[in-house]
């Protein structure tokens, strides 16, 4: 069994709401249903109930939604988790990402490549480099992530990547650079919020990538009432379009 320790991050689950807090013994946390003295949960097992609040171990989804500080648009779990599987990320992989943003995708990628892989992520804005570093130090393994404060138009320092992902405004401008740092047959993923951007990306991808797919994911939650099983009335209508392709080997000597 795993027990709650001082300075752990935990989720307080109460009446369908979640809060991600650090277990600082001197502090108390108050919810609608009561007070939790944090000193009193240290040494107790995860899952305990205190005044109708449940103390849970954060999942990667909890970390992205309730723990990490978001100062950029992020890739939400719906797309984020799919991307990691679609790119076939495995332990030992060397993965390229741009831009780092708040580190939401980097956190998920770094878990997937553990214990011996590495994520190399590039971010041109220093403010976002600092925030994403803090998020990854708090909630992930910073030894699995190298954050470069660098605009990729000035180049990418590493090569021979097993997979790459672009979450930038004009991905078509970087396809040549990314092609050169990927291993042949490796996957490239891209997210863009508008159809106009897809129209720019696809023609630029076609000469260097095959098996190109464009998709959009929808996630619909259901109400919990077993006697009136039906979807929730509201859902997130749009996050982004996902584009995937595989690097073609081009033999220049032919």
Reduce the DSSP state of residue 25 to 3 states and report it.
coil
Per CB under 6 A, 74 contacts ligand SAM: yes
Is residue 77 part of the contact set for ligand SAM (CB under 6 A)? Answer: no
Q: Is 222 in contact with 230 (CB distance < 8 Å)? A: yes
Distance CA 199, CA 214 (A): 11
Question: In terms of CB distance, is 151 or 200 closer to ligand SAM?
Answer: 151
Q: Which is nearer to ligand SAM, 39 or 72 (CB)?
A: 72
The residues in 155-174 that bind ligand SAM, with binding defined as CB under 6 A, are 167-169
How far apart, in whole angstroms, are the C-alpha atoms of residue 31 and residue 34? 5
Which pair of structure tokens corresponds to residue 9? 């991050």
| Residue 105 tokens, joined | 């995708």
**Non-local CB neighbours of 207 within 8 Å, separated by 6+ positions:** none
Environment class of 217 (CB within 10 Å of its CB; exposed 0-12, middle 13-18, buried 19+): middle
Between 29 and 172, name the residue whose CB sits nearer to ligand SAM.
172
Task: State in angstroms the smallest separation of the CB of 99 from ligand SAM.
Answer: 2
The distance of closest approach from Cβ of residue 32 to ligand SAM in the complex, given in angstroms and rounded to an integer, is 31
CB 107 within 8 A of CB 132: no
Site for ligand SAM in 170-229 (CB under 6 A): none
Q: Is 122 in the site for ligand SAM (CB under 6 A)?
A: yes
**3-class DSSP state for residue 184?**
strand
Among 73, 130, 183, 246, binds ligand SAM (CB under 6 A): 73
- Count CA atoms closer than 13 A to 109's CA, side-chain side: 31
Residue count, binding to ligand SAM (CB under 6 A) = 22
Smallest distance from the beta carbon of 173 to ligand SAM, in angstroms?
8
Task: Please say which residue, 204 or 248, places its beta carbon nearer to ligand SAM.
Answer: 204
DSSP state of 162: E
Per-residue contact track with ligand SAM, 81 to 110, x per CB under 6 A?
-----------------xx-xxxxx-----
146 forms part of the interface with ligand SAM (CB under 6 A): no
Interacting residues toward ligand SAM by CB under 6 A: 72-75, 98-99, 101-105, 122-125, 128, 151-153, 167-169
């Amino acid at each position: 069994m795993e027990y709650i320790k001082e300075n752990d991050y935990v989720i307080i689950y109460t009446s369908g709401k979640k809060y991600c807090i650090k277990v600082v013994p001197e502090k108390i946390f108050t919810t609608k249903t009561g007070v939790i003295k944090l000193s009193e949960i240290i040494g107790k097992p995860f899952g305990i109930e205190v005044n109708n609040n449940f103390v849970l171990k954060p999942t990667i989804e909890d970390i992205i939604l309730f723990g990490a500080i978001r100062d950029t648009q992020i890739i939400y779990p719906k797309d984020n988790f799919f991307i990691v599987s679609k790119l076939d990320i495995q332990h030992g992989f060397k993965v390229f990402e741009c831009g780092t943003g708040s580190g939401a995708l980097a956190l998920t990628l770094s878990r997937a490549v553990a214990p011996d892989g590495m994520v190399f992520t590039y971010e041109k804005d220093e403010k976002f480099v600092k925030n994403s570093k803090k998020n990854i130090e708090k909630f992930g393994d910073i030894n699995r992530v190298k954050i470069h404060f660098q605009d990729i138009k000035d180049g990418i320092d590493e090569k021979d990547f097993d997979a790459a992902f672009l979450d930038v405004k004009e991905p078509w401008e970087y396809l040549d650079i990314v092609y050169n740092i990927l291993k042949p047959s490796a996957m490239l993923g891209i997210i863009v919020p508008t159809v106009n951007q897809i129209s720019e990306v696809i023609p630029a991808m076609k000469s260097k990538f095959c098996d190109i797919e464009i998709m959009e994911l929808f996630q619909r939650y259901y109400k919990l009432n077993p006697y009136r099983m039906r979807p929730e009335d509201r859902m997130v209508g749009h996050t982004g379009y996902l584009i995937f392709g595989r690097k073609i080997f081009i033999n220049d000597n032919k």
